[in-house]
């Protein structure tokens, strides 16, 4: 049990991921009426619960996207967090503790959809955060572990807002590094 008082399960308020090197499992969840996140790590037994803040809001978090670094020898992860005020934050798992909370945007396209996602490059240590924040555009930032974020960049995409983003790491070396799909509101284009 990660928390005995989990938030309403109507959205993605829990996540799990395996550390690439150690094989340990990290589980996170958001307690009801809290802006904190609770995590536990399974090695051969479950660790004690750790509570950390990865949002500026005073309300419940709505969306969690936890992505492990796929590089062999790496145990770090990035969690991206969306809240009811449409804020987008990230925190960094070092392999043993949470660190480096960053607010990326205070007005993403939707608090009711997961208008963001993060993915690592297959080689690890570098990643990409993509999110909708302006109608007719998609926004992205590059990431280099543990806490270097590239310039916010906007690209033209459709004419409407983007309430859902999905990113995946391409496991094949030498090709496209990260694949993504973005849902456009109203037109329902991808």
Please answer whether residues 65 and 114 qualify as being in contact, where contact means their C-beta atoms are separated by less than 8 angstroms.
yes
140-167 residue pLDDT tens: 999 999 999 999 999 999 999 999 999 9
57-71 burial by CB neighbour count: b if 16+ within 10 A, else e? beebbbbbbbbbbbb
pLDDT of residue 60 exceeding 80: no
pLDDT at 190: 55
Q: Is the pLDDT of residue 59 over 60?
A: yes
* pLDDT digits 0-9 by tens, 76-126: 999 999 987 889 999 999 999 999 999 999 999 987 889 999 999 998 789
pLDDT at position 69 = 96
First-to-final CA distance of the chain: 37
pLDDT at 35: 79
- Tell me the C-alpha distance between 145 and 121, whole Å: 11
Q: What is the pLDDT of residue 110?
A: 85
Class of residue 56 by CB neighbours under 10 A (exposed 0-12, middle 13-18, buried 19+): middle
DSSP three-state, residue 146: coil
Element (H, E) at 129: strand 126-131
The whole-angstrom separation of Cα 94 and Cα 158 is 37
Instruction: Evaluate if residue 9 carries a pLDDT over 80.
Output: no
User: CB under 8 Å to 3, separation ≥6 — which residues?
Assistant: 29, 30, 31, 38, 49
Confidence class for position 42, pLDDT limits 50, 70, 90: very high
d(CA 119, CA 20): 14
């Amino acid at each position: 049990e990660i928390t005995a008082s989990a938030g309403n399960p109507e959205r993605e308020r829990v996540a799990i991921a395996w550390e690439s090197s150690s094989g340990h499992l990290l589980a996170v969840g958001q307690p009801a009426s809290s802006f904190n996140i609770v995590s536990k790590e399974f090695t051969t037994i479950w660790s004690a619960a750790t509570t950390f803040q990865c949002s500026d809001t005073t309300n419940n978090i709505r969306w969690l996207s936890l992505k492990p670094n796929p590089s062999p020898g790496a145990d770090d992860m990035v969690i991206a967090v969306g809240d009811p005020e449409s804020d987008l934050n990230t925190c960094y798992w070092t392999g043993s503790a949470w660190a480096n909370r960053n607010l990326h945007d205070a007005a993403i396209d939707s608090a009711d959809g997961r208008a963001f996602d993060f993915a690592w490059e297959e080689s690890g240590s570098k990643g990409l955060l993509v999110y909708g924040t302006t109608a007719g555009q998609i926004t992205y930032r590059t990431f280099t572990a543990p806490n270097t974020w590239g310039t916010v960049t906007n690209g033209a995409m459709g004419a409407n807002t983007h309430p859902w983003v999905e990113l995946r790491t391409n496991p094949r070396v030498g090709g496209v590094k990260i694949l993504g799909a973005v849902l456009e509101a109203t037109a329902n284009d991808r």
